[in-house]
Amino acid sequence: MSDRIKGKCLCGSVTIALDQTRPGVDVCHCSMCRQWSGGPFLSLRSVQPEAMDIGGREHVSIYASSDWAERAFCSKCGSNLWYHCKPGGHFSFLAGLFDLPEGYAMLEQIFIDEKPPYYTFADDTPTMTGAEVIAEAEAAGHTFD
């Protein structure tokens, strides 16, 4: 387990402290994440609620982006904060909110089948298509109705 990492939104109204058990950055190329973040969603993933401490919750706005997911942003400065997958219960935080310690690298890219041709990462990482991501989650008992 790595040390606790700390981050904040652009204006500092929302602060985040995480006990990050999986040091690294994941990338989602799905069209919804790209529309939400303006590019691929680079995140710290699979953070459970007991491993996070959010300050300034009164400035957090939640948007239900689907029946099974929510996205949060700071209501003061508009910074995107996290993606919450309700069936799995995990939260994925935008990596750019944190001053990450050395050793963090790109670990995985998902929804690779939705990645547009106008960008490419040099890192050679494991990849999964959208169908593979959903199948893995459903095999773990999560439903996406």
Q: Is 99 exposed, middle or buried (0-12, 13-18, 19+ CB in 10 A)?
A: exposed
Query: What is the pLDDT, as a whole number, of residue 21?
Result: 62
Query: What is the pLDDT, as a whole number, of residue 2?
Result: 54
Query: What is the pLDDT, as a whole number, of residue 77?
Result: 98
Query: What is the pLDDT, as a whole number, of residue 19?
Result: 87
Residues 6+ apart with CB under 8 A from 97: 7, 8, 9, 16, 79, 81
Query: What's the whole-model pTM score?
Result: 0.89
Residue 124 corresponds to which tokens in the numbers above?
């050679």
Task: Indicate the DSSP class of residue 34.
Answer: H
**Residue 109 · residue 43 · CB < 8 Å:** no
Task: Quote the CA–CA distance of 5 and 52 in Å, as a whole number.
Answer: 10
Query: What is the pLDDT, as a whole number, of residue 134?
Result: 86
Its sign, for the CA torsion 20, 52, 73, 45, is positive
- Mean pLDDT for each 10-residue chunk of the chain (145 residues)? 83 93 88 95 83 95 94 98 89 94 91 96 94 88 72
Give the residue among 90, 86, 82 at the shortest CA–CA distance from 14.
82
